[in-house]
Amino acid sequence: MMSDPPPHWYDLEHQRITIEQAEVLLKSRDRIVAQTEAGCMFVSTVFLVLDSNLSGSGPPLLYATALFGPAGDGSCRTWRTSTRAAAIAMHDQVAAAARDNSNPGDVETVINGATGADD
Binned at pLDDT 50, 70 and 90, residue 81 comes out as: very high
pLDDT in tens, 19-78: 999 999 999 999 999 999 998 899 999 999 999 998 878 999 999 999 998 877 888 999
65: in domain: yes
Q: What angle do CA 77, 78, 84 make, to 5 degrees?
A: 150
Instruction: Report if residue 81 sits inside a domain.
Output: yes
Whether 44 maps to a domain, the answer reads: yes
Q: Let me know if residue 85 belongs to a domain.
A: yes
Give which of 100, 23, 40, 34 is closest to 63, Cα–Cα: 34
Q: Is 72 domain-assigned?
A: yes
What is the number of alpha carbons within 13 Å of residue 112 lying toward its C-beta?
11
Q: For the residues 92-119, what does the mean pLDDT come to?
A: 82
In a domain, 1, yes or no: no
Q: How many structural domains does the chain have?
A: 1
Is residue 52, in this structure, part of any structural domain at all?
A: yes
Q: How many CB atoms lie within 10 A of CB 9?
A: 20
Distance CA 60, CA 75 (A): 26
Which residue segment(s) compose the domain that 111 sits in? Answer: 9-115
Q: Residue 3 falls within a domain, yes or no?
A: no
